[in-house]
Amino acid sequence: MVRVDGTSSGESLIQIRGLEKNYSRAGEEIHVLQGLNLDVGKGEFVAFMGPSGSGKTTLLNLLGGLDTPSRGSITVAGDEITHMSAGKLTQWRARHVGFIFQMYNLLPVLTAFQNVELPLLLTKLSKSERKQHVDIALEIVGLANRSNHYPRQLSGGQEQRVAIARAIVADPTFLLCDEPTGDLDRKAADEILDLLTRLCKEHGKTILMVSHDPLAADRAGAVLHLNKGALVEAQGVGGPA
C-alpha cells in the first residue's frame, strides 16, 4: 500500500515523515520539498511525475542516501538513514539500493559482464560467486549472450538492460529509476518497462521511478505527482495509490 498522508500504521518498507529539502541560491532560500510524508510497501511499483524543477530527482537522491534532507526522516527496512555517518551510509547504499539512470553510465572500456560485476568488487564474494551473480542478472535482463560485448557494440535498449543488471546484481532492497526510458525510442522504452514490471511482479522488487512519460507511469501500481514541493495522488493514471 502506498500512502502520502503519514497515517500508515503497518510495516512499510519505506517510510518518510516531514521531509523537507531547501537550497540557498544567491542569498535566497529555495524550498524544493516541503513536509513530505510517504509510505511504500514491499513489492510496490511507484511512479513520480511533475514538471521540471518540482523536486522529483531530489526526492530520489534523498531516498538513495545521495543527499541529506534539511528536516524530516527517511526509514528503509527499519534503518533510519537520515543521520547515518558517510561511511555507514555508503555501506547501507551498497546493500539496499540499485540505481538506474536515464544515461546508462556504463564504462566503455569494460564488457557487459565487467560493468555488471562492478558493484560486487566491493563485497567479499569470491570470483566464482561474482560470476554466478552476474550470469543470473544478465539472464534476467535477457542479455546472457551479450556478456562479452562492449557498450559500443550494444543498442541503447541493450545498454539500459546492462545498467539494470548492474542495479540488481547485488539483490538490493529497492530500485531507484530516474527517467530510465528517457533516452530510448518507444519500442526500446516499452521493452525496458516490461522488464521493470517483471522485476516487480515476478521478483518482488520495490521500484520507485521518476518519469515525464505518462505511458511509463501507467505501468506503475501507484502514481504520485509532485506539485510545489508536495506529493499528491494522481488520478486516472496507473493503479490506485
The per-residue pLDDT for 8 is: 67
> Per residue in 19-50, pLDDT tens?
999 988 877 888 889 889 999 999 999 999 98
pLDDT at 17: 93
Three-class secondary structure assignment of 192-229:
HHHHHHHHHHHHCCEEEEECCCHHHHCCCCEEEEEECC
Structural domain includes residue 6: no
Do the domain assignments include residue 18?
yes
Question: Cβ distance 67 to 58 under 8 Å?
Answer: yes
Q: Could you tell me if residue 4 is inside a domain?
A: no
84-113: b (≥16 Cβ within 10 Å) or e: beeeebeebbeebbbbbbbebebeeeebbb
Strand partners, 172: none
The whole domain housing 31 covers: 14-233
Residue 29 pLDDT = 82
pLDDT tens, residue by residue, 57-85 = 999 999 999 999 999 999 998 899 998 99
Is 5 contained in some domain? no
If you ran DSSP here, which 8-state letter would residue 3 be given?
B
> Quick check: 39 and 14 in contact, CB under 8 A?
yes
Does the residue 241 lie in any domain? Answer: no
Q: Do residues 120 and 169 make contact, with C-beta atoms less than 8 angstroms apart?
A: yes
Q: Is residue 9 part of a domain?
A: no
Q: What is the pLDDT of residue 31?
A: 85
User: Which ranges of the chain have pLDDT less than 50?
Assistant: 235-241
CATH of the domain at 45: 3.40.50.300
pLDDT, position 238: 42
pLDDT at position 231:
85
Let me know if residue 240 belongs to a domain: no
Residue 55 domain flag: yes
Total domains in the fold of the chain: 1
